[in-house]
Amino acid sequence: MSAAIPATDSHAPDVRPARLAAEQYAHHFADAAPRLTRTQALVEAERCLYCFDAPCATACPTGIDVPSFIQRIADDNLRGAARVILDANPLGGTCARVCPTEVLCEQVCVRTTQSGKPVEIGRLQRYAVDAVMDRPISQLFQRATPTGKPVAVVGAGPAGIACAVGLARRGHSVVLHDAQAKGGGLNEYGLASYKMAGQFAQRELDWLLGIGGITVLTGWRLATAEQLQGLRQAHAAVYLAVGLADTPSLRVPGEDLAGVRDAVDFIAELRQADDPATVAVGRRVVVIGGGMTAVDAAVQSKLLGAETVHMVYRRGPATMGASRAEQDWAQTHGITIHHWLAPEAILPGHGGAHGHAAAVRFERMVPLHQPGGGRLQHLQATGLHETLAADMVLKAIGQKLDASLLDDCGLTLREGRVVADDDGRTGVPGLYAGGDCRLGGRDLTVEAVEDGKRAAAAIHAELSA
């Protein structure tokens, strides 16, 4: 079949690092939304109406008492503000940076109804949390008397950290395992640099570890059922927060060509690079997918110096995983967003580009109307094709759980994820699960934190019974 694909480009592929002058990188990868100044924070805080049963607090998956923390900012009581935030959401610093607030707290802010402009809750939250992170966490929270009960947490992403902190505060001893070289999970490896500027993921994790009672074991990968069995035997409870470490295949010809890679790997490489100038990027980049990861990959490609970046989604705007604000952010950065185009083949180049991606061919889709259909409509091919030239193709069509190792643990898997209740209880005694690997939710960082927080409470209740 690939033989039938016409030649597209005979130029050598152009994928290389250092496309920009050195000084441009610092500017491009600086904080996307810097911390508010005190004056900005006070003025913004004054806009909060201190609603009764505040819609913002209800909309927050972790239930942060938003009016209270904003009131405390207005009162110059930043420690009190941070305590309100972090008590509900230990990763309030990350969430302040990465939450799609425009579909959560800020969407329902009554100031939106009143004047079309919500209180900038996310930025105020960051203002308060950042302000306390230069002092020890013990000035906000004290660890309870150690219980001596060990709990294993697998996965040091948002859910795992939230669970570990929740357990440690209650006096339990936690071993926080992670397969990567650093803790933090997606906070460390999966988010755009400009969202987490200043090594924020590690700063936050280190600060939280100051609570005491948490041992971090990095480079520890859960790969066998025996390992899990061993954890269960050695600990009073085990919390699985392994995330979605695998990426699905596009299942189109040409996926194995050079220049085609997973967006999550590209993002991780950039996050771990000491200097972004060392990260190679294509002159022309095509990102396949419509979620936050696709936006992070597309925008950062552009910031690394790609000339053209196309973000291509097989469905329409309504079902894009990227929020409206993220889409705007992408378009502001010169990303062209295409809808209703499904990838059909990645085309190799010729001559110097042999064996390397040179273009992506898409087929235009239309929604297939069906009565009572779900959120995601079925698609119908139109037979119309479009081809976008590409030196680099980034796949951002989602992540999935590597379920193989969990097959023999007695866990119920559905839709490729672990079935557990909202407190993380699986069908297996003493084994809890949460975060993205758990079935349900929108795969938001803040939801993972809530999972971990609730699981910590549930595990504590069980251990205290």
Partner 1 sequence: MADLRSTFAGITSPNPFWLASAPPTDKAYNVHRAFEVGWGGVVWKTLGEDGPPVVNVNGPRYGALLTPDRHLLGFNNIELITDRPLQLNLDEIRAVKRTWPDRALVVSLMVPCTEAAWKAILPMVEDTGCDGVELNFGCPHGMSERGMGAAVGQVPEYIEMVTRWCKQYSRLPVIVKLTPNVTDIRQPAAAAKRGGADAVSLINTVNSIIGVDPDTLTMSPATGGMGSHGGYCGPAVKPIALHMVAEIGRSPGSAGIPISGIGGVGTWRDALDYIALGAGNVQVCTAAMVYGFKIVQDMADGLANWMDDKGFATLDDFCGKALPTVTDWQYLNLNAISKAQIDQGSCIQCGRCHIACEDTSHQAITAVVDGKRHFEVKEDECVGCNLCVTVCPVPDCITLRTLAPGEVDARTGQAVVATPADWTTHPNNPMRKAVPA
Contact letters for partner 1, residues 372-401 (x by CB under 8 A): ------------------------------
CA distances (Å), 118 to each of 44, 50, 164, in order? 10, 13, 33
Which pair of structure tokens corresponds to residue 382? 């139109």
The nearer residue to partner 1, 110 or 140, going by C-beta atoms, is 110
Which pair of structure tokens corresponds to residue 326? 């993220």
With CB under 8 A as the contact rule, the residue among 18, 32, 42, 413 that binds partner 1 is 42
Sign of the Cα pseudo-torsion (229, 444, 163, 210, in order): positive
Interacting residues with partner 1 between 247 and 286 (CB under 8 A): none
Q: Which stretch binds partner 1 (CB under 8 A): 110-118, 257-265, 306-314, 432-440?
A: 110-118
Contact 192, 28 (CB under 8 A): no
Asked if 113 is part of the footprint of partner 1 (rule: CB under 8 A), the reply reads yes
Asked if 53 is part of the footprint of partner 1 (rule: CB under 8 A), the reply reads yes
- List Cβ neighbours of 201 (8 Å cut-off, separation of 6 or more): 94, 182, 184, 187, 188, 191
With CB under 8 A as the contact rule, the residue among 15, 60, 74, 420 that binds partner 1 is 74
Which pair of structure tokens corresponds to residue 133? 């992170």
With CB under 8 A as the contact rule, the residue among 32, 33, 49, 268 that binds partner 1 is 49
Asked if 131 is part of the footprint of partner 1 (rule: CB under 8 A), the reply reads no
Find, among 257, 289, 251, the residue nearest to 358 by Cα.
Answer: 257
What whole-number distance in Å separates Cα of residue 314 and Cα of residue 92? 33
Interacting residues with partner 1 between 4 and 33 (CB under 8 A): none
Contact 194, 97 (CB under 8 A): no
What whole-number distance in Å separates Cα of residue 277 and Cα of residue 275? 5
Which pair of structure tokens corresponds to residue 450? 């809530």
The nearer residue to partner 1, 48 or 211, going by C-beta atoms, is 48
Find, among 268, 314, 293, the residue nearest to 395 by Cα.
Answer: 293
What whole-number distance in Å separates Cα of residue 301 and Cα of residue 281? 6
CB of 42 to partner 1, least distance (A): 4
Which pair of structure tokens corresponds to residue 288? 């396949």
With CB under 8 A as the contact rule, the residue among 45, 95, 105, 119 that binds partner 1 is 45
Task: Kindly state the DSSP code that residue 195 receives in the 8-state scheme.
Answer: G
Contact letters for partner 1, residues 322-361 (x by CB under 8 A): ----------------------------------------
DSSP H helices, 312-362, are 324-332
CB of 48 to partner 1, least distance (A): 10
CB of 53 to partner 1, least distance (A): 6
Q: Which stretch binds partner 1 (CB under 8 A): 45-53, 179-187, 245-253, 340-348?
A: 45-53
Q: Which stretch binds partner 1 (CB under 8 A): 46-54, 279-287, 331-339, 395-403?
A: 46-54
What whole-number distance in Å separates Cα of residue 328 and Cα of residue 345? 28
The nearer residue to partner 1, 113 or 272, going by C-beta atoms, is 113
Asked if 51 is part of the footprint of partner 1 (rule: CB under 8 A), the reply reads yes
Site for partner 1, rule CB under 8 A: 42-43, 45-46, 49-55, 74, 110-111, 113-114
